Amino acid sequence: MEENVSDKTEYVKDAPVDAAPIEQVRDWRADSQTPVATEFPLPVENPAPAQGFVATGSYRAPAADPNAAAPRKGGPGYFAFKRAFDIVFSAVVCAVLAVPVVAACVAIEIDSPGKPFFRQKRVGKGGKPIYIFKLRTMVSDAHEHPEKYMTPEQLAQWRREQKVDNDPRITHVGRFLRHTSLDELPQFINVLTGDLSVIGPRPVTLEETFEYGDARDEVLACKPGITGWWAATDRNDSTWGSGQRQARELFYVRHQSFGLDARVFVKTFKAMRKGK
């Protein structure tokens, strides 16, 4: 099952008029000049998505293609099974990893002042406000005063993407927790309460929901998850600004199914093993 290669994505780009065009990247067979579609094909209408810029709210989603080479969206049986899986899997994780979480809390408090847990306000299914729980991996005032720790360039990146390369606010213990994804474990409590699913689009802030442009309502109709297609595949390279993050999250919303969930599950564990 491959990502929809027939969908097209429109972008509104703010780029210099005299910017030099960049060749579209393709994979080629060694014995042929025939282009091979990659797992994440570049949008037809944007030959250099990583170099363009999608202004907040300007993303234009592709029309859904029922003939796309992608899994068909699951029906009522799929969603019933998914909720049952969420409950059972999350209960097992909470029971098995309770002791490691307690140990991590102790390490966090020793490493830096502040509470080991923190919660973030996010937008859930249907636009419902929810609070997700995580183990603290940053200094306690990381979100209130990011300017204390970041350069102007880092601050600009964080304000748009909510992530920064080599974030200086991350603590020593926090770096290990992120490397192993242990900081996400408290979110399984959110799964048990029904606010999250194990697999779904990444839960985002109210401001970030507008990054989806005209696909905002479509994405918000899906319950967010701890991991997902964007999170398990290309999260370090797909950004709001390039439009690629919107495309990957929307791909999952339109094609969520047993097959796609299985792929996300496998990819998530592979990424955790590699420390991504």
pLDDT one-digit tens code per residue, 177-192: 998 889 999 999 999 9
Q: Are the beta carbons of 116 and 183 closer than 8 angstroms?
A: no
In this predicted structure, the answer to whether residue 237 has a pLDDT above a threshold of 90 is: no
pLDDT one-digit tens code per residue, 262-272: 999 999 988 87
Take residue 21 and report the two structure tokens written for it: 């065009």
Name, in order, each residue with C-beta under 8 angstroms of 239's C-beta and a sequence gap of 6 or more.
Answer: 160, 161, 245
Name, in order, each residue with C-beta under 8 angstroms of 248's C-beta and a sequence gap of 6 or more.
Answer: 3, 40, 229, 230, 233, 234, 238
> Residue 56 has what pLDDT?
80
Which amino acid, 155?
A: L
Phi then psi dihedrals of residue 35, to 5 deg: -70, 140
Distance between CA atoms of residues 198 and 86, nearest Å? 6
What is the average pLDDT across 198-215?
94
Phi then psi dihedrals of residue 156, to 5 deg: -65, -40
In this predicted structure, the answer to whether residue 71 has a pLDDT above a threshold of 50 is: yes
Closest by CA to 264, choosing from 187, 195, 198, is 198
Distance between CA atoms of residues 67 and 85, nearest Å? 29
